[in-house]
Amino acid sequence: MKFTPPDLRHRPLSIVHQEPSFVVVDKMPDLLSVPGRAPNMDDCVVNRVRDLFSHAEGSLAAHRLDMETSGLMVLGLTPDAHRNLSRQFEQRQVAKTYEALVEGHVTGDSGHIELAFRVDLNDRPRQILDPVHGKLGVTNWLVLDRNGASDRDETRVRFTPLTGRTHQLRVHAAHPQGLGHPIVGDRLYGNPALADRLMLHSTKLAFHHPVDDHWLEFDLPAPF
């Protein structure tokens, strides 16, 4: 499924916290985390951070958010900081929390999902369940509210991923063996007509400072 990202160059990147060694940003929906392969896909968080911080060098991105996902993202501005942050993500030392609106009425109050999946080679970037060749994704979930201010039948859910697979929360939310309720506005796994964006936001990010190792926590409420 081909998708051309919208032109977001008129919208500035929001800085949540900055230090000489790293920066935490609020990634807007539909902005790439890193450059895409096509010539028209160079507008991304990494390139915007390079433009904002003249001393930034190296790969910068210690992790990625899906293009459609918004919220907290941390980037190392020096090679040492990038290596440190990347290692924390690889060793699962980083605490991440997401908030989403999902389609329908979730009957349970909380749960734990373990599903293995991989990319669909015939329909990239869609992911499909594959318990044999797929990589295991692990997610905890908690219902925060049902319906809320919306006139649609939907549920507000907090997701805590314990692994970091591509599209993990989207697959775990939508698949019948997972939550069984697609995230509102998901063009790959749900009904994109329900919203003008994917209702998934990175609300909390906590990690060790890449220089002095003290624990840092950042919170950013969902805009929906």
| Positions marked active-site | 66
Angle at 191 between CA 95 and CA 199, to 5 degrees: 30
Q: Which of 179, 159, 155 is nearest to 105 (CA)?
A: 155
How many helical (H) and strand (E) elements, i.e. helices and strands, does the chain have? Answer: 3, 10
Q: Do residues 21 and 81 make contact, with C-beta atoms less than 8 angstroms apart?
A: yes
> Hey, is 196 helix, strand or coil?
coil
Give the separation between CA 208 and CA 59, rounded to whole angstroms: 19
Helix (H, G, I), strand (E, B) or coil at 204: strand
CB 50 within 8 A of CB 87: no
CA dist 74 and 182 (Å) reads 27
